[in-house]
Structure 1
């Protein structure tokens, strides 16, 4: 019998959904306001901003898919979130060495909180039962 989804996994999935939605909204806003960000004659900057906006929208959609995977117990989604959180922690350490202590500590703490929620005993049981 499959284990029921623990609240910690649901909480991480909700945070992931919020992140994906905000990424999509941010990309759309940038896409529609890119002309106000730089001079229209600077085609290279406009192209760069457009590319960034489109990538943000695509990444937001991928994040929504990963959040859905977390809710359904996908071990791939859990692994992907784990890799991203490890990269965030490494980024936080780099920020500490570049004298951006507050940002670095926040990055590290965020990664630790998300990973600790995804790897509780109940979460381990939930993901293991979804083979």
Structure 2
């Protein structure tokens, strides 16, 4: 018998969806406004901004796929989100060492909360039932 998806997994997936959509929107906005960001004569800067915008859009699409995977119980999706949260926590520790305490603590707390929500007893049962 398969376990029903717990609210914690749905909540994290919705947050991941929002992140993906914002990445796509940000990339599109940057792509269409890149000419106003630098002088037209600075081709290198425009190329860099264009590359960053395209990467943001592609990353947003990947994030949407991962969010869909979370909703369907993909262990790979849960693993990817976990790796990203571990990297966020490491980033938070680095921020603490750079005297950016508020940002560092927020990064660490965010990572801990998301990982907690993905590894509750009900979430573990849900992902295990999808094997």
Q: TM-score when scaled to structure 2?
A: 0.99
Which residue of the partner structure matches residue 62 of structure 1?
A: 62
- Runs of 4+ in structure 1 off by over 2 angstroms are none
Structure 2 counterpart SS, 1:3: coil
Secondary structure of 1:112 counterpart: helix
Give the RMSD, CA atoms, in angstroms: 0.3
- Tell me the residue number matched to 2:80: 80
Q: Aligned equivalents of 2:2 and 2:38: distance in 1?
A: 54
Deviation at 1:17, TM superposition (A): 0.2
Q: Which residue is 1:8 aligned to?
A: 8
Instruction: Tell me how far 1:18 sits from its aligned partner.
Output: 0.2
Counterparts of residues 111-126 of structure 1 (less than 5 Å): 111-126=111-126
Q: CA deviation at 1:108?
A: 0.3
**Alpha-carbon offset, residue 58 of structure 1:** 0.1
Give me the TM-score of the superposition, normalised by structure 1.
0.99
- The Cα shift of 1:31 comes to 0.1
Superposed displacement of residue 33, structure 1: 0.2
Instruction: Provide structure 2 residue ranges, at least 5 long, that are not aligned to the other structure.
Output: none
1:96-115 CA distances to partner (integer Å, 9 max, x unpaired)? 00111111011001000100
- 1:51 matches 2:55: no
Cα distance between partner residues in 2 of 1:41 and 1:113: 46
Aligned to 1:95: 95
Separation in 1 of the partners of 2:40 and 2:102? 36
Mapped partners of 1:114, 1:38: distance in 2: 37
